[in-house]
Amino acid sequence: MALICRTFTTWITETVLDQVETWVDEQQEQCKQYPWWDPRGWFCWIETITVKVVIQSTKEIVVPFSRTICFVMAGILFFSLSPFAAAIDSVAPTWHVYFTLKKWLWTPRITFDGKQPTSIEGVYLYSFTCHCSGENEVPIAITASNDDEAALKAEEECAKVCDKQ
């Protein structure tokens, strides 16, 4: 059964404020300027200055959130049109309407295999498998900038490949 899928991407942005508090100690040697022979100048003392430092940093986090929604359109069409196709086949058995309907709607023609980025920004390499008549499966590759464009190109390419066989 064929699926029609759409991918929706939403960018979620969150600003995070990060605050770090640290204490910084600085020591200074303090000596009075006395002549070398004065005993008061022989002794020095150490002053320690302690300062609290607060560092605030802002980070902006951007995360892509993708969701894919698939609709089973072919199955809905097949089950809704099957009674009409069976009625037509009962009146005109040589038309094979039910068989054609089953072939085109129920049998998968194209299967999506994967998507990879290319060296060109915004262009992706899509891989599909084209299911032609019988058990014949042909892999096809499409380059496109979005999922809808890739699906259209894949349908065209699959039609070309299946018509050649």
Taking residues 146-164, report their average pLDDT.
Answer: 82
pLDDT bin (cut points 50, 70, 90) of residue 15 is confident
Per-residue pLDDT tens digits for 119-139 = 888 899 998 888 776 667 888
User: Does position 108 have pLDDT exceeding 60, yes or no?
Assistant: no
Looking at the whole model, is its pTM more than 0.75? no
User: Does position 104 have pLDDT exceeding 70, yes or no?
Assistant: no
Question: Which residues, listed in sequence order, are joined to residue 114 by a DSSP beta bridge?
Answer: 127
- Alpha-carbon separation of residue 162 from 40, 60, 130, 140, 156 (angstroms): 104, 50, 8, 12, 10
pLDDT bin (cut points 50, 70, 90) of residue 143 is very high
User: Does position 83 have pLDDT exceeding 50, yes or no?
Assistant: yes
Q: Are 120 and 142 in contact (CB under 8 A)?
A: no
CA distance 141 to 99: 29
User: Does position 101 have pLDDT exceeding 60, yes or no?
Assistant: yes
- How much is the mean pLDDT over the chain? 78
DSSP string, 76-105: HHHHHHHHHHHHHHHH-TTS-HHHHHIIII
Q: What DSSP character marks residue 146? A: S
Sheet holding 137-144, edge to edge: 110-117, 124-131, 137-144
Domain extents in the chain: 1-28+46-91, 108-165
pLDDT bin (cut points 50, 70, 90) of residue 1 is very low
